[in-house]
Amino acid sequence: MPVRLDRLETHWLVRLEGEFTIASAPELKALLADWLASRKDLELDLERAGEIDVTLLQLLSAAGREAERAGVRVSIHMSEVAAAAARDLGFERLAGASQG
């Protein structure tokens, strides 16, 4: 799971590339926990994400709920493949993120 993280002054930019399955969950969960602790906004780029499974979507959904509680913003940019997976797995809110 190639992850590129840029900790910018105003927000974090996370780019995920390739396949994201349950094997990727611990690394992504740790990254999202660090981000939430930073109290900065998050820009998540899934434009180059290939296969994604329900585990990734569950983590992103939970992170989004925690962000709302913390008063930080999350923006997600995803490929049509990622958006289709989100819709197919019942994550319509994530599927509505901007698509390239």
Calculate the CA 84 to chain-centre distance. 15
Low-confidence stretches of the chain (pLDDT < 70) are 1, 95-100
Number of domains in the chain: 1
Q: What integer pLDDT is reported at residue 1 of this predicted model?
A: 65
pTM, rounded to two decimals: 0.84
Distance CA 23, CA 92 (A): 24
Distance CA 4, CA 67 (A): 20
Distance CA 76, CA 44 (A): 5
DSSP collapsed to 3 states, 13-63: EEEEEEEECHHHHHHHHHHHHHHHHHCCEEEEEEEEEEEECHHHHHHHHHH
Domain with 73 in it: 3-99
Q: For residue 31, give the CATH number of its domain.
A: 3.30.750.24
